[in-house]
Amino acid sequence: MARRKATEQEPAAPRQRLGSVIKRIRDLMRTDPGLNGDLDRLPQLSWMLFLKAFDDKEQEWPVERPDYQPLLQENYRWRTWAGNDRFTGEPLVEFINDDLLPRLRALGDTSTSADLASKIGHVFQGVENRMRSGYQIREVLNEINKVDFTSSKDVHAMAELYESMLQEVRDAAGDSGEFYTPRPLTKFIVQQVDPRPGETVLDPAAGTGGFLVETLEHLGMERAESVRERRDIERSIRGIEKKPLPYLLAMMNLILHGVDVPQVESGNALALLRQSASPATQVDVVVTNPPFGGAESPDVVKAFPKKYQTAETAWLFLTAILDKLKPGGRCGIVLPNGVLFGEGVGTRIKERLLKECNLHTVVRLPDGVFAPYTSIPSNLLFFEKRADGRKAEQIHDIGGWATRDVWFYEIVPPAGSKRYTKTKPMRFEEFAECTAWWGGRGRDGRVENDRAWMVSATQLHEAGFNLDVPNPSSGDDLAHRPPHELVKELIETEHEILAILAELQSSLEATR
């Protein structure tokens, strides 16, 4: 028999088919006067996708959970209002704005913050329908109805498409003063911290869920062979996010990666961590990039022990994480240079870190990793809490510290580059040499080289707990570099800044 040629009648692959659906939706949204740019369009699409996914799941759950009762009344279920082709125009807009969204927000008033109703209520606390045309909304709903969230192929394809859209909204959000952790960093941190099945993993600054999604992939969520195995992985992943938009995006991101009911809390992480600072709520692993450079409210600061009180969020997150980790727990965290050399309260927190945890590795990142949103140099700190759970106050000499030596490793940009930029970002492959040097789970066989050096706890104590230790092999300091090279680099930097400003100006003019 002759081999049949591909025809237009053959169904398209899920990625291709859903890519066309998303493109059609975005084209429709661009014509609606209420939406202005990706910072409006992706949240609008996200809450609609969320309700479609939830409705599809509600039709599945009674099979897995015979006692499950639908959360929403019939007229508020997606299949009822979004599935009705004749429900359109102004009546549809009025229903969404005046009835549906207020009803969903009210679910957050339930007393138990961990239950499903409350989680959905918190998702919709900051949600608004920004589309003005009920006819455009109807067309968008009809496109979303082509997505089947009970199909693993559709979910997988949507997850890939959604991640690419998240990257776009992260870029747009960066122009508004927010920035998110680049995927290569989340992947490397999770890889090196190495969460294992059965361990609880927390990101207290979850953002759009990048660390949590990376952890799911690391734990093999897609390879889980049973419902029970998937549920165990789901329950082990936890997050906290303060801002409504990232919270919505994180919930949708996790749902698209196979999590039915994401264990992400909405609220001020520092306040929530202090409220639950008991051994029963401790976790095995923390992977995070907390906000830094900001100031926390006095009532939150006062909830911390007096000797560790500071308005700087990065210090407070580090302190809270030390309390949140179980004995033997592990952490990978992004922190700015200021934390390494900070004094006063910072010195006390670093002393506590070295006493209670084995700070085994500091990875020094090059300039531009978070370009163009911030030029603040940053570092990755990896540490393990001591197994005996002893507190800093119980340890009085260096011999009893959990940290004996700290290894530093310097990541450098590719040859020919001094820093990363928005157009030439960091790639995961650039961590390959560090991964090879790392020495696996046991960190065996580490040696000093032109990128790696070791400093003893005694040296750090004598230096006043200053962790801002430069690479002794580096000759790239300002005092020894030729003037013509410095001038050339300054000119290149100015050109990069002008290009970014020109791009921003074009974006602003396009939205006028």
The confidence score (pLDDT) of residue 191 equals 97
pLDDT digits (tens, 9 = 90+) for 478-512: 444 456 655 766 776 676 677 667 666 665 665 55
More confident position, 356 or 152: 356
pTM for this structure?
0.84
More confident position, 171 or 444: 444
421 neighbors 496 (Cβ within 8 angstroms): yes
pLDDT digits (tens, 9 = 90+) for 219-237: 988 787 787 888 899 899 9
Task: State the Cα angle at 326 between 320 and 327, rounded to 5°.
Answer: 115
Residue boundaries of the structural domains of the chain: 14-151, 270-283+326-467, 481-512
What residue type is assigned to position 286 of the chain? Answer: V
Task: Give dist(CA 132, CA 324) in Å, integer.
Answer: 45
Task: Give dist(CA 441, CA 473) in Å, integer.
Answer: 27
In CATH terms, the superfamily for domain 14-151 is N6 adenine-specific DNA methyltransferase, N-terminal domain (1.20.1260.30)
Task: State the Cα angle at 32 between 27 and 33, rounded to 5°.
Answer: 140
How confident is residue 31, by pLDDT bands cut at 50, 70 and 90? Answer: very high
Most confident of 207-211, 303-307, 449-453: 449-453
Nearest to 334 by CA among 379, 304, 298: 379
State the SS3 of 154-193: HHHHHHHHHHHHHHHHHHHHHCCCCCCCCHHHHHHHHHHH
The confidence score (pLDDT) of residue 510 equals 56
Which element (helix H / strand E) includes 74?
none
What residue type is assigned to position 411 of the chain? Answer: I
More confident position, 275 or 360: 360
Report, as an integer, the average pLDDT of 63-75: 85
pLDDT digits (tens, 9 = 90+) for 341-358: 878 999 999 999 999 999
How confident is residue 321, by pLDDT bands cut at 50, 70 and 90? Answer: very high
How confident is residue 165, by pLDDT bands cut at 50, 70 and 90? Answer: confident
The confidence score (pLDDT) of residue 480 equals 41
Residue 4 clears pLDDT 50, i.e. is over it: no
pLDDT digits (tens, 9 = 90+) for 38-67: 778 988 999 999 999 999 988 888 887 788
Residue 1 clears pLDDT 50, i.e. is over it: no
For residue 394, report the phi and psi dihedrals to the nearest 5 degrees.
-90, -5
The confidence score (pLDDT) of residue 97 equals 97
Q: In sequence order, what are the beta bridge partners of 210?
A: none
Residue 464 clears pLDDT 70, i.e. is over it: yes
Task: State the Cα angle at 332 between 394 and 446, rounded to 5°.
Answer: 90
The confidence score (pLDDT) of residue 371 equals 66
Question: How many other C-beta atoms can be found within 10 angstroms of the C-beta atom of residue 388?
Answer: 10
Nearest to 150 by CA among 69, 240, 56, 286: 56
The confidence score (pLDDT) of residue 488 equals 66
CATH number of 270-283+326-467: 3.40.50.150
More confident position, 19 or 311: 19
Q: Which residues fall within 8 angstroms of residue 234, CB to CB, at 6 or more apart?
A: 258, 259, 260, 261, 262, 263
Report, as an integer, the average pLDDT of 93-111: 88
Q: In sequence order, what are the beta bridge partners of 455?
A: 406
Kindly give the interhelix angle for 210-219 and 244-256, rounded to the nearest 10 degrees.
Answer: 20
% of the chain at pLDDT higher than 90: 54
Most confident of 87-101, 248-262, 486-500: 87-101
Residue 118 clears pLDDT 50, i.e. is over it: yes
User: Taking all residues of the chain, what is their mean pLDDT, rounded to a whole number?
Assistant: 86
What residue type is assigned to position 460 of the chain? Answer: L
The confidence score (pLDDT) of residue 476 equals 52
Nearest to 149 by CA among 29, 28, 260, 21: 260
Report, as an integer, the average pLDDT of 385-404: 93
Per-residue tokens: 177: 């003063």
Could you please report the per-residue DSSP string of 335-393? Answer: EEHHHHH--THHHHHHHHHHHHEEEEEEEEPPTTTTTTT----EEEEEEEE-TT---GG
% of the chain at pLDDT higher than 70: 86
Report, as an integer, the average pLDDT of 96-122: 81
The confidence score (pLDDT) of residue 311 equals 84
Nearest to 410 by CA among 385, 377, 443: 377
Nearest to 55 by CA among 38, 79, 35: 79
From residue 284, alpha-carbon distances to 93, 195, 220, 281 in Å are 46, 8, 18, 10
Most confident of 98-102, 394-398, 423-427: 98-102
pLDDT digits (tens, 9 = 90+) for 167-194: 776 665 554 445 578 889 999 999 999 9
The confidence score (pLDDT) of residue 152 equals 85
The confidence score (pLDDT) of residue 48 equals 95
In a 10 Å sphere around its CB, with 0-12 CB exposed, 13-18 middle and 19+ buried, how is residue 490 labelled? exposed
The confidence score (pLDDT) of residue 258 equals 84
From residue 287, alpha-carbon distances to 91, 334, 358, 380 in Å are 46, 9, 16, 10
Task: Give dist(CA 117, CA 104) in Å, integer.
Answer: 9
